[in-house]
Structure 1
Amino acid sequence: MSNVVSGLIVVAVAGLIGAVGLFVRLRVFPGKEDEEREDVAGYVTMMVGVMFALVLALALVSVWEDKDSAEGHVASEASSLNETYLLGASMLPADQEKIQAAASAYAGYVVHTEFPKMRSGKEVDDTGWQLLTNVRTSFLNANVSTPARQAVLSDATTQISNLADARRGRLEDADKRMPSVLWIGLILGGVLTVAMTFIYGIEQRFTHVGMVMGMAAMIGFVLILIYNLDNPFNSGTGADSAPFTSYFP
């Protein structure tokens, strides 16, 4: 099931739950609220709404920054690998073949093995590091008898170092998740915010139901968005392997 379909289902269910909750309230407490009690409830509702908005903003900023960090590391890693591949063309034909084959093998492993694991939250093993070592070894074992090739080796060493740093950052991003305490605050805040709207009495009950359903659906939408962004490499919303496939189709 796609993220769009699952998101729409969550939004619809959230709206339905809000409507059912309001109908239960109206059935159990059908009387209108007195003005004094609604004034007090207004202050409480405002405070709950403000606190929920703060937690919501904190959660969105947290997951969005993780997503941006992951995209930056992926782009940097792919770019450094491509530069390494291109520098290999300056070596002797036999060395060039080994260097570019090692670089292509690394890219293929990252795209077809590591990214699916990161999307599903599985642990990435050390195979990628071994393939990166093969890239480095291919360059270090190349014939650099001329000053030009020695300069190329120096540039390649820098690129491979940058590649390793970007890879390390990408793997750290894959393990990032929003703190559990924020999820508790989001869920409790959403429930309380919707529940506080049950206090008020509106003569047009269908209007009241529509307002509650709209609020519950919007909160459900934001929560499912945060849930999808919580994994920086989630399919559809997170960082993808496009930088690698653009260099190594």
Structure 2
Amino acid sequence: MSNLVSGLIVVAVAGLIGAIGLVVRVRVFPAKEDEEREDVAGYVTMMVGVMFALILALALVSVWEDRDSAEGHVATEASSLHETYLLGAAMLPADQAKIQAAATAYADYVEHTEWPAMRSGKEIGDTGWQLLTNLRTAFLNADVTTQARQAVLSDATTQISNLADARRGRLDDTDKRMPSILWVGLVLGGVLTVGLTFIYGIEQRFTHVGMVMGLAALIGFVLILIYDLDNPFNQGIGIDSAPFDRYFP
């Protein structure tokens, strides 16, 4: 099932739950005219709404910053690997073949093995680091007897170092998750925000039900959005392996 379908189901279920809750409340606890009570309820509802909005903003900023960090690391890693591949062309044919084969093997492993593991939250092994070591070794063992090839080796060493740093950043981003306490605040705030709307009585019953359903559906949509962004490599709105595909189709 796609993330889009799952999200729509969550939104629909949230709206339905809100409507059912309101109907149950009206049947079990019929509304009574009490202006003083509604004044207090309005103040409490406003405060809960403000605090819930702050928690939502904090959660969205947290997951979006993690996504931006991961996107930067992926772009740097792919770009450095491509530069290393191109620098290999300046070496002797035999060395060039080894260097470019090592770079291609690393890209293939990242795209087809590490990416599915990152999306599913599985642990990443040491194979990728070994492939990176093979790439570094292929350059260090190349014939650099001329001054031009020595300069290429120096540039390649810098690019491989940048590649390794970006890889470390990407793997760190894989393990980043929003703090659990924020999830507690999001769920509690959503329940309270929708629940407090049951206090008010509106003459047009269907209007009231529609308003509660819309609010519950919107909160459900925001929660599923935050959940999807919590893993920056999640399929859908997460980061894909497009930078590697672009350089190593």
TM-score, shorter chain, exceeding 0.5: yes
Given residue 77 of structure 2, which amino acid in structure 1 is its aligned partner?
Answer: E
Give the 5 Å matches for 1:1-249: 1-249=1-249
**Residues 73 and 169, structure 1, Cα contact 8 Å, conserved in 2:** yes
Structure 2: distance between partners of 1:175 and 1:128: 17
3-state SS of 1:211 partner: helix
Aligned residue type for 1:219: I
Q: Matches of 1:131 and 1:200 in 2, distance apart?
A: 63
| In 2: Cα distance, 1:170 partner to 1:34 partner | 57
Amino acid corresponding to residue 94 of structure 1 in structure 2 = A
CA contact (8 A) 1:62 1:178 kept: yes
- Between the aligned partners of 2:238 and 2:65, the Cα distance in structure 1 is 11
Q: CA deviation at 1:154?
A: 0.1
5+ residue gaps, structure 1, are: none
Residues in 2 aligned to 1:121 and 1:65: alpha-carbon distance in whole angstroms? 19
Cα separation, 2, equivalents of 1:236 and 1:25: 38
Q: Which amino acid aligns with 1:10?
A: V
- What whole-Å deviation, never above 9, does each CA across 1:51-86 have from its counterpart, x for those lacking one? 000000000000000011111000000000000000
> The residue matched to 1:122 in structure 2 has which SS?
coil
Cα offset, 1:192, TM superposition: 0.2
Letter in 2 for 1:110: V
**Alpha-carbon distance in 2 for matches of 1:36, 1:104:** 72
Q: Aligned with 1:199: secondary structure? A: coil
Q: d(CA) in 2 for partners of 1:162 and 1:240?
A: 20
Aligned-residue offset at 1:33: 3.7
Report the residue type matching 2:45 in the other structure. T
Q: State the shift of 1:182 in Å.
A: 0.3
Residue 81 of structure 2 aligns to a residue whose secondary structure is helix
Taking the aligned partners of 1:135 and 1:147, their CA distance within structure 2 comes to 21
Look up the equivalent residue of 1:14 and give its one-letter code.
A
Contact kept? 1:33, 1:199, Cα under 8 Å: no
Cα distance, 1:44 vs. partner? 0.1
CA distance, structure 2, for counterparts of residue 49 and residue 183 of structure 1: 16
CA distance in 1, matches of 2:32, 2:109: 65
Deviation at 1:133, TM superposition (A): 0.2
1:157-209 Cα offsets, whole Å, 9 max, x none, are 00000000000000000000000000000000000000000000101110000
Superposed displacement of residue 31, structure 1: 2.7
**Distance change (3 Å), C-alpha of 1:182 and 1:107:** same
Instruction: State how far apart, in whole Å, the 1-side matches of 2:24 and 2:51 are.
Output: 26
How far off its partner does 1:119 sit?
0.2
Q: For 1:51, give the aligned amino acid.
A: M
For 1:32 and 1:152, the matched residues in 2 are separated by 82
For 1:233, what is the secondary structure of its paired residue?
Answer: coil
Alignment RMSD = 0.5
How far apart in 2 are the matches of 1:160 and 1:92? 19
| TM-score scaled by length of structure 1 | 0.99
Which one is further off, 29-38 or 51-60?
29-38
Specify the code of the residue in structure 1 equivalent to 2:110. Answer: V
Letter in 2 for 1:185: G
Amino acid at match of 1:6: S
